[in-house]
Amino acid sequence: MAEETKFEPKIVAFLCNWCTYAGADLAGTGRNQYQANVRVIKLPCTGGIDPLFLIKAFERGADGILVSGCHPGDCHYNSGNYHARRRWNVFRPLLEFCGINPERIQFSWISAAEGGKWVETINGVVDTVRALGPFEGYQKINTIGPDASSESSQT
Amino acid sequence: MIEALRKKAEELLRSNTVDVIYGYGEGSTPERTRPVFITKPEDVNKLIWNKYCVYNLTTYLKRQESRKLGKPAIVVKGCDAKTIVVLIKESQIKREDVYILGVTCNGVGEPLATKCKACDVNTPRIYDDLIGEKIENKEIPFDERYAELDEYEKLSEKEKWDFWQKQFAKCIKCYACSSICPLCFCDRCIVDKNQPQWIDPSAHPRGNLSWNVTRAYHLAGRCINCEECQRVCPADIPLNLLNKKLAKETEKNFNYRSGYNIDDELAMATYKEDDNQDFIK
Amino acid sequence: MEKTLKKENFNSLITGLKDQGYRTIAPKKDNNLVTLDEVQSADEIHLDHVQTNNSIKEYFLPKTEKILSYTLEKNKVSIEEPEGFAVKSVVFGSRPCDAASLPIMDKVFNWDCSDKFWVERREAITIVTIACDKCDNYCFCTSVGLAPDSKEGSDVLLTKISDDEYLVETVTEKGEGLIKGLETVFSDPVAGTPDRQVASVEKKFEIDKIKPWLDENFAHKIWAEFSMKCISCGACTFVCPTCHCFDIVDECTMSKGDRVKNWDGCQFKMFTLHTSGHNPRSTQDQRWRQRIMHKFKYYVEKFDNILCVGCGRCSRVCPADMNISEMLEIIATEENQKE
């Protein structure tokens, strides 16, 4: 019975098509198991990941997020991951400043050849977020109560 | 100083150097000023300059109504002048499209606006004419410039979350913050796009968090700290703390300060191969 | 019915209301603002202000509210309507201008259909107003036919008669019921004529001059001149106790969603944007004109009321110092000149 109540975090992973997605695929073909808490969203490039995607993931109930793409220098579009890295450098502290634990949004470089690193990374994210517990703060604001407006207004 | 300003304005209008002066005029109360648009040389006496001239008038560069008046000369303080640098860098205006009437400034607002507390642009860094006696711009150390953030950065994760939830709960989604911002110039804001609806337009906690975070983030590496968003917020949300936090991270990570040097590459439009990545696995 | 209320009895009043199941909303200070907000005790109530930042509207037409939820299962749609939105409450210490906005808005919310959210809240909430003992430059209630001690819309009106005492006048049966239920808190009125401390609000313009001018001057150049500094935000409309435009949106995932009603405002460019891309109010002068016309012409024609109570909030919060009473003064003067 204890297992039923065990918290299983929802993790959303935004992966670049060329490196990390292929890396995760490699882990699959190599029959390397990893925890099934992750929902993968494939995008052409980390450079195209708007930080709003990450906010939306939390709005839809994610407890943790992984953003992963090609190693510096390996970007299929030459510089997409460099631009992404700039954004994360400011977006991450902004969320932290607003009270969101940075451990809930993690970043990695995983190449198409690094199936092992994918398994290790995603397991790490799942374990960390499981230890943090459900993202209650965000889940609380995700539901609008019958009179949420008067509860929340001008307090 | 007012006399010099009026004289210069009159000269610019008479010589047809510009079509309109965006300046400060008397407001509803003695503690308030308001933007005025002077198109006739005989009206230059409506221009004033005092410590209540808090507005950043460069916001009217993005508005179709004022742009229709023709080429402007804008009265700008040192902080406001930084906006023009960014607007030029972001291809919104050309340098020759605007005549900059820089005024030297020792701080505005009563009590003194927080933006003035660590000011290092008492004399604008860019101008066509300088009104008022030149003030030597100070060099202010990094820590002092961002000192306002210290008490908030010290808070625990939960305290931060609670603080901002309380602040964002007050938001009524009037969008005064983005409407006044001279650098929020998108013709259609992301919040007004609904296919898909990235940001809930509702003023509930979820919509307010995503709106306020996104507004601030879109100004990362761009905000020049004129604090207009915070001044106009009818719900008194300390919005500039978010902008300042982003400015601090931009400077710390990329050694970039928005609006200071016209030759610098825009922080968020470029990259360096050795940018910080110690948080990336 | 007339009574008096000592300031020291405020606490027993709030406790008494709580015991009877009322939620109390009163002016409360939070940092730089005084807002109408829920209070638990009289210590939280702040009365040393001219006007609260938010208007009373928020408790009848909230800035955002869910009007229904739906879930989709295979081919079945189930709808759930919200309940319990009309919370039995007393608004204590709102200003007479705010209270006066309610009967004006009743007309529109009971017009072609009755808006249950508005109507049920109106029934559930009792308004105890405190007459203004001070005002500022932005107040202009006397110019729109009201006064700092108007009774319109209030159930009970309190007027300061000394530093620690208020005269209590009941205006409606609902108000009388409220007072009767709390008799021990109130005292009998003092003998003789009480010294009512009421602010004197300067009359700025003749309201009769406004509509005739608006009837004639849809295309006047003043609209563009005056609105040049406007930045098209919605602050004025959102703090206004009589602006009542709203927008309805669905916030949904694949299988479920909420239909939400949010404040909207005529000063936004998006407000009138058509799907085709055409915008009948594409410039700010048209939108500013709409605000004035709606308040002082269209609403008058339709409901025989001015849609403005002279609270001055829009002018206080305006980021660009657009001052509505100044605009109306100009109009009244123009009308004078014509004659």
Q: Which helix (H) or strand (E) holds B273?
A: none
pLDDT at A134: 94
Give the number of other Cβ atoms within 10 Å of residue C268's Cβ. 21
Which candidate from A60, A146, A153 shows the least CB-CB separation from C82? A146
Say if the Cβ atoms of A99 and B157 lie within 8 Å. yes
Domain of B245, in residue numbers: 142-268
Would you state the pLDDT for residue A92? Answer: 95
Q: Do C233 and B64 touch (CB under 8 A)?
A: no
The reply to whether B191 falls in a domain is yes
Q: Which of B50, B6, B3, B55 is nearest to B31 (CA)?
A: B50
Q: Do B268 and A87 touch (CB under 8 A)?
A: yes
pLDDT at position C304 is 95
In this prediction, residues C70-93 reach a mean pLDDT of 93
**B25 and B44 fall within a common domain:** yes
DSSP B136: P
**pLDDT beyond 90 at C191:** no
- Run of H or E residues at A136: helix A136-142
Q: What band does C339 get if pLDDT is binned at 50, 70 and 90?
A: low
- Segment B49-71, tens digit of pLDDT: 999 999 999 999 999 999 999 99
User: Which residue carries 């199941």 as its tokens?
Assistant: C21
Convert the pLDDT of each residue in C260-275 to its tens digit. 999 999 999 999 999 9
pLDDT exceeds cutoff 90 at C192: no
pLDDT at C194: 80
- C neighbours by CB contacts (3+ pairs under 8 Å): A, B
- pLDDT of residue A154 exceeding 80, the answer is no
Contact at CB, A153 and C65, closer than 8 angstroms = no
* CA dihedral for B10, B14, B18, B22, sign (positive or negative): positive
Confidence of residue A147 (pLDDT cuts 50, 70, 90): very low
Mean pLDDT of C114-126: 96
Distance to chain A for C24, nearest Cα, Å: 12
- Chain B residues whose beta carbon lies within 8 Å of the beta carbon of residue A79: 271
The answer as to whether B136 is a domain residue is no
CA angle, B191 then B195 then B201, to 5°: 30
CB contact burial B207-218 (16+ within 10 A = b; e otherwise): bbbbbbbbbbbb
Q: How far is A30 from chain C (nearest CA, A)?
A: 34
Q: Residue B260: how many CB atoms within 10 A of its CB? A: 16
How far is B31 from A2, CA to CA, in rounded Å? Answer: 66
Do residue A154 and residue C85 have CB atoms under 8 angstroms apart? no
Contacts of A137 in chain B (CB under 8 A): 161, 165
Cα separation, C324 vs B247, whole angstroms? 37
Mean pLDDT, all residues of chain C = 93
**pLDDT at site A3:** 55
Residue A61 falls within a domain, yes or no?
yes
Are both B201 and B118 inside the same structural domain?
no
Instruction: Kindly state whether residues B64 and B164 are assigned to the same domain.
Output: no
The pair of three-digit structure tokens given for residue B228, joined into one six-digit string: 């207009």
Confidence class of residue C74 from pLDDT cuts 50, 70 and 90? confident
- Cβ neighbours around C12 below 10 Å, total: 16
- CATH of residue A148's domain is 3.40.50
Q: Is residue B276 part of a domain?
A: no
User: What's C182's DSSP letter?
Assistant: T
Q: Given this model, what pLDDT does residue A148 score?
A: 38
Count structural domains, chain A: 1
C163-180 pLDDT, tens per residue?
899 999 999 999 999 999
d(CA B106, CA B137): 11
Predicted confidence band of residue A91 (pLDDT cuts 50, 70, 90): very high
- Residue C309 CB partners (closer than 8 Å, separation 6+): C97, C98, C100, C101, C104, C141, C144, C146, C241, C242
Which pLDDT score, from 0 to 100, does residue A144 have?
A: 60
Per-residue confidence at C189, pLDDT binned at 50, 70, 90?
Answer: confident
| Three-state DSSP string of A70-122 | CCCCCCCCCCHHHHHHHHHHHHHHHHHHCCCCHHHEEEEECCCCCHHHHHHHH
Percent of chain C scoring above 70 in pLDDT: 99
Task: Count up the domains in chain B and report the number.
Answer: 2
Pick among A56, A154, A155 to test the C interface (most C CBs inside 10 A): A154
Is pLDDT of C150 > 80? Answer: yes
Same-domain status, B146 and B264: yes
| pLDDT tens-digit readout, C16-64 | 999 999 999 999 998 889 999 999 999 999 999 999 999 999 999 999 9
Contact status, residue B172 vs residue C263, Cβ threshold 8 Å: yes
C-alpha to C-alpha distance for A120 and B239, rounded to whole angstroms: 39
**Chains in contact with B, counting 3 or more C-beta pairs less than 8 Å apart as contact:** A, C
Domain assignment present for B81: yes
Cross-chain CB nearest to C63 (options A145, A153, A155): A153
What DSSP letter does each residue of A1-54 carry, written as one string? -HHHHS----EEEEEETTTHHHHHHHHHHTT----TTEEEEEES-GGG--HHHH
Which domain range does residue A48 map to?
A: 8-152
What average pLDDT score do residues C117-128 get?
Answer: 96
Per-residue pLDDT tens digits for B63-106 = 999 999 999 999 999 999 999 999 999 999 999 999 999 999 99
Confidence band of A4 (pLDDT split at 50, 70, 90): low
Which parts of chain B register pLDDT below 70? Answer: none
Q: Clarify whether residues B101 and B155 are in a common domain.
A: no
| A90 contacts B246? CB cut-off 8 A | yes
Please determine, for residue C334, whether its predicted confidence score (pLDDT) is greater than 90. no
Q: How high is the pLDDT of residue B145?
A: 94
Residue of B nearest to A149 (CA): B204
> What is the pLDDT, as a whole number, of residue C2?
87
As a whole number of Å, the end-to-end CA separation of chain C is 47
| A-C Cβ pairs (cutoff 8 Å, strict) | 42
Q: Using one digit for the tens of pLDDT, what is the confidence trace for B225-242?
A: 999 999 999 999 999 999
- Average pLDDT rounded to a whole number, residues A22-40: 94
Domain assignment present for B211: yes
For chain C, the domains span 2-185, 207-338
* B-chain residue closest to A99, CA distance: B161
Which residue is closest to A155 within chain C, CA to CA?
A: C37
Among B28, B65, B174, the residue with its CB nearest the CB of C283 is B65
Q: Are B129 and B23 in contact (CB under 8 A)?
A: no
Q: What is the mean pLDDT of chain B?
A: 95
- Residue A1 reports pLDDT greater than 50: no
